[in-house]
Chains A and B, each alone.
Chain A
Amino acid sequence: MTLPDPGTWGPMLAIAAMAVATYLCRISGVALMSVIPLTPHVRRGLAALPGSIVVATVLPLIERLGVAAAIALLVAIGSMILRRSELLALLTGMAAISAMRALGF
């Protein structure tokens, strides 16, 4: 081992490692797309990307978090269709999940 043990600096180094890893994630997608030419295919792929990220993030989380979470998200989506307010969607969704968990679901 050439490196000295992290010792008391361990937590700070761990935080620094997380910060670097996260910043690299933030910039690498933008850096990558700046060298890929925007062909019609790439353009259509990028157009489909936002909704794909949303669905790919949410569906497995629902599967992991359970039926109550699924209902809460549907309540939030319903609120969003009716009112188009993220805050209201958050409040109704969190109220729904709190109520269902309090009732033991």
Chain B
Amino acid sequence: MLARHPCALTQARAFRFWAAMPPEPQTQSPAAAPITAGGMWLGVRKVSVLVPGIVVFAVAFGAAAAAKGMSLLETVLMSGLVYGGVSQLVAMEIWRPEWTWGAIAGLAVVTATVNARMILQGAALQPWFAQYSKTLNAFHLFFYTDANWLIGTRYHNEGGRDLGVLVGAGLALWLVWVGATIPGHMLGALVSDPRRYGIDLVMPIFFAAMIVPLWRGRRGAVPWVVAGLAALVTAKLFDGYAFIIVGSLAGAITGAFRDDPA
């Protein structure tokens, strides 16, 4: 229900676009670089299936923030400006009432390592983004998340080229994420143990489910095996989230030096 909100304005226009072009403009040439209201609406519909999980995740974050003594304003600001669920939950682990410049710098470094996967996720879809202006990319990348990346990757693999899909999905999810943080903060005590409901598994489940549409046969999976092994070894050796970067790069490099057509 929340997901429809952001597109109430564009919905009327979306229908006009629909009459003129197919809802998924798969036949667009790369040079066209379309961004349409119809695409944005498609993005909202694609992201709507992820909304229940994101709501639960946002409520869990709001509750954790309340437990750490953050004000509602601070909690909402963090959700709105950072907009990175895992990094926000990790920040709650090291949140404190008093801040020194050193502690702030430390928090920034931890946040960057948790979110470093976004560097690779951005790189993976850059050939698509390159057709659009820097200003537009700088804008929509603010709303770029795991969910956007999953949706965008799948849509692009299926031949879709309308950037509106990412913009619509990103804006809708941002509203849901920020909106659901508020009841989480207020109802804090009700979800004192998010683990019990499997909330810590929301993102891992989305990621694991993504393997199915990405599957291109066993040969295509060789880089994934390398990525998985490298990540496991890195996770054993180092604390934190460095394993994502090391594993992903190992997989990409393996893929780069195999002879299969991409």
Structural contact, B104 and A10, CB atoms closer than 8 A: yes
* Complex interface residues of chain B between 102 and 144 (CB less than 8 A to chain A): 103-105, 107-109, 111-112, 115-127, 129-130, 137-138, 141-142, 144
Q: Report A62-92 CB contacts with B as 1/0, cut-off 8 Å.
A: 1111000100110011011100111101110
**Contacts of B141 on A, CB cut-off 8 Å?**
23, 26-27, 30
Q: How many residues of chain B get a CB closer than 8 Å to chain A's CBs?
A: 98
**Partner of B122 from A29, A58, A72 at Cβ < 8 Å:** A29
- Chain A interface mostly: helix
**Contact A44/B227 with A29-B120, A50-B153, A65-B201 known, Cβ cut-off 8 Å:** no
The residue from A18, A40, A44, A49 contacting B108, defined by CB atoms under 8 A apart = A18
**A interface, size bucket:** 35 or more
Chain A residues near B116: list those with CB within 8 A: 25
Are B255 and A49 closer than 8 Å at their CB atoms? yes
Main secondary structure of the interface of B (DSSP, over half): helix
- Asked if A58 and B204 sit within 8 Å, CB to CB, the answer is yes
Query: Out of B81, B206, B224, B258, which one reaches A55, CB within 8 Å?
Result: B224
- The answer, yes or no, to whether B78 is at the interface (CB within 8 Å) is yes
With an 8 A cutoff between CB atoms, is B74 at the interface?
yes
Cα A92 to Cα B142 with chains together (Å): 31
Q: Are B205 and A72 in contact (CB under 8 A)?
A: yes
Closest to A85 in B: B49
Residue ranges of A at the interface with B (Cβ–Cβ < 8 Å): 3, 5-6, 10-30, 32-34, 38, 40-65, 69, 72-73, 76-77, 79-81, 84-87, 89-91, 93-94, 96-98, 101-102
Query: Can you list the 9 inter-chain pairs with the closest CB atoms, starting with the nearest?
Result: A48-B255, A52-B251, A56-B247, A10-B99, A29-B122, A45-B256, A60-B235, A33-B126, A52-B227
